[in-house]
Every structure is written in C-alpha cells, then in structure tokens.
C-alpha cells in the first residue's frame, strides 16, 4: 500500500503544472508567456519536500520574483540578446519563441534523430562551462529533459529553455553536470527501443565530450533502491525494472570501454565573451522594489 501511494505521489508530482502557459504575439513576434498558477505557493513546498525524499538534488524556485530573475539571467547567459523577454505586471514572464520543435515532440512523433541527441550534448557541454557565481565550477540546468530542448534543424542546434528549478548549491560541479546528463537519458529510456536508445545515449555523451563528467555519470548508471527508485520510475516512464537494468548495463559497458573516448583530453567549445557574471540575479525595474536578491535567494525588504 505504501509503495503504491508513493508511486501515485511521484506521478502526481511529475504531472503537476505550477505555471500557466500561453502563446501570443508581442511587438510583432510570437512569445510564450508563463505565470504561476493559483495554488503554486502551496504545491511547490510539497514538491520540494518530495524531491528531498526521493534524492532529487534540485529545488523549484518558490518565490515568483526569484524565479523570474533566475530565468531571465539564464536566458541572457545562454542565448545573449537573441531572444527578447518581457515582464507583465511583475507576475508574468514572456520569452520570444525559439525556432524549431522540442526534442520531446520529435520523440512523441517518431521523428527524433541522432543529430538531435548530439546537438543536445553540445549544448549541455557549452552551458556547463558558463561561469556562475551561485553555482561554482560551471552553471547547470537541474531539469534538462527532452521537453526543455528546442531543436532547430536549419542550424542543427538544440537550445535550452525553462529555468524554474536549480540544483542544490552545495553540490559539486561535476556531480551537477552528470545529473543533467542523467536527466536527459532518463527521459528517453522508456521512449525508444533498446538498440535505438543505446545509440542515442552514446551520441549524447560523445558529443558532450567531457570525460571528467562521464566518470561521475558511470557511477549513476545503476537504478537505486528505496525512495530514489520511485523518482527513477517516474523519470523513465515506468520502464520495467529488468529492461531498465539491461539498458543501463549496456550503456555503462559501452562508455567504460577503453576506446570509448580519449580520456586524456577534453575539447573545449568556443564561448562567447561574457561581461561580468550574467548568472548573478539583478534587481529588475519591472519587479516590485520591496524584493531584493541575497545569498539566501530573494527576501522581502523590511
């Protein structure tokens, strides 16, 4: 009974939508507008408690002001001024639409290709080398499932989106980065046939091309027991345990092979010139002035 209740709880947490999305035009372009749903302030602490219980090392940013500023900062850091943002009424964030289609939609429609996995690996590798004062050793996403990558076939590029969660600030950088890789792999484990998934996973990790992080990933390629296994079940679309173990063992063997990678070097992708720390939250003139950032997140000014 307890196991069944936990499974139901995990499924509900995964399906709960704390934000309301709408697509509409603004200033001559299409934008996606996101705002917190009613009840989000009640749901988010429950979800964060469940994440701690299940060993998921992230938190949903509870304060609306903190989430908006973190999302804006991450967008600017990763994509520069390529996509505009707008804040309406201090409560709604609008982001100019990315070109392309989400990788998750491609998986659902049977049109996913290895090029998409490679593009996602390159994008994660680039993003993980971005300096961030709040996440020393390189920025990380926290929830880079396939729905948070938009693939543009014209440029063969996958862009990261949706920044409403953040890794535990105390977590070591390589562990955070390995966790990002694992989240992407988990999301595809139950959505592709075994052989296709193995090729997909190898394409992702090889294009990511950071052996120091892959070493940490190898340690994670074993389904855990207990509460953490519940979250794995949710993440892997309830793939049967025996099939899950076989797939993880196959990938682990492939990545651990002596000729899998050149473990002595890591190719560093070119990075744009950064002015200051774009990951540091700034006070936006569009947000209420009674809020200000601090080392503990956003706090209301007395």
* CATH architecture label of 2-256: Orthogonal Bundle (1.10)
Which residues have C-beta within 8 Å of that of residue 237, sequence separation ≥ 6? 189, 190, 191
Q: Is 19 exposed, middle or buried (0-12, 13-18, 19+ CB in 10 A)?
A: middle
> For a pLDDT cut of 90, what percent of the chain falls above it?
75
Q: Residue 167 — very low, low, confident or very high, per pLDDT cuts 50/70/90? A: very high
CB atoms inside a 10 Å sphere around CB 65: 23
Q: Residue 261 — very low, low, confident or very high, per pLDDT cuts 50/70/90? A: low
Q: What is the pTM of this model?
A: 0.85
Q: Is 144 exposed, middle or buried (0-12, 13-18, 19+ CB in 10 A)?
A: buried
Q: Residue 299 — very low, low, confident or very high, per pLDDT cuts 50/70/90? A: very low
Give the angle subtended at the CA of 191 by the CAs of 252 and 140, to the nearest 5°. Answer: 60
pLDDT exceeds cutoff 80 at 145: yes
CB atoms inside a 10 Å sphere around CB 257: 9
* 3 state SS of 290: coil
* φ, ψ for residue 119, nearest 5 deg: -65, -40
Segment 231-248, tens digit of pLDDT: 999 999 999 999 999 999
Instruction: Please report, for the chain, the start and end positions of each structural domain, with discontinuous segments joined by +.
Output: 2-256
Q: How far apart are CA 66 and CA 295, in angstroms?
A: 12
């Amino acid at each position: 009974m307890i196991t069944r209740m936990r499974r139901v709880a995990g499924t509900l947490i995964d399906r709960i939508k704390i934000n309301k999305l709408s697509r509409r035009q603004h200033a001559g372009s299409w934008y996606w507008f996101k705002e917190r749903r009613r009840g989000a302030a009640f749901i988010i602490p429950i979800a964060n408690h469940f994440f701690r219980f299940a060993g998921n090392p992230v938190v949903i940013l509870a304060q609306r002001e903190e989430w908006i500023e973190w999302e804006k900062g991450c967008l600017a850091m990763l994509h520069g001024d390529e996509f505009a943002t707008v804040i309406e009424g201090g409560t709604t964030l609008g982001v100019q639409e990315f070109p392309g289609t989400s990788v998750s939609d491609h998986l659902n429609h049977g049109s996913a290709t290895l090029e998409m996995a490679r593009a996602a690996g390159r994008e994660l590798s680039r993003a993980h080398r971005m300096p961030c004062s709040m996440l020393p050793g390189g920025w990380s996403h926290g929830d880079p499932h396939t729905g948070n990558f938009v693939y543009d076939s014209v440029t063969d590029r996958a862009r990261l989106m949706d920044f409403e969660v953040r890794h535990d600030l105390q977590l070591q950088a390589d562990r955070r980065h390995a966790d990002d890789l694992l989240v992407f792999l988990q999301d595809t484990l139950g959505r592709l046939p075994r052989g296709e998934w193995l090729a997909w996973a190898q394409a992702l990790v090889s294009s990511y091309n950071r052996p120091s992080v892959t070493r940490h990933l190898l340690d994670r390629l074993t389904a855990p027991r207990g509460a953490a296994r519940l979250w794995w079940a949710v993440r892997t679309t309830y793939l049967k345990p025996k099939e899950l173990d076989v797939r993880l063992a196959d990938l682990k063997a492939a990545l651990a092979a002596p000729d899998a990678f050149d473990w002595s070097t890591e190719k560093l992708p070119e990075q744009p010139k950064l002015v200051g720390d774009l990951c540091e939250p700034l006070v936006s003139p569009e947000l209420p002035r009674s809020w200000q950032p601090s080392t503990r997140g956003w706090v209301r000014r007395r």
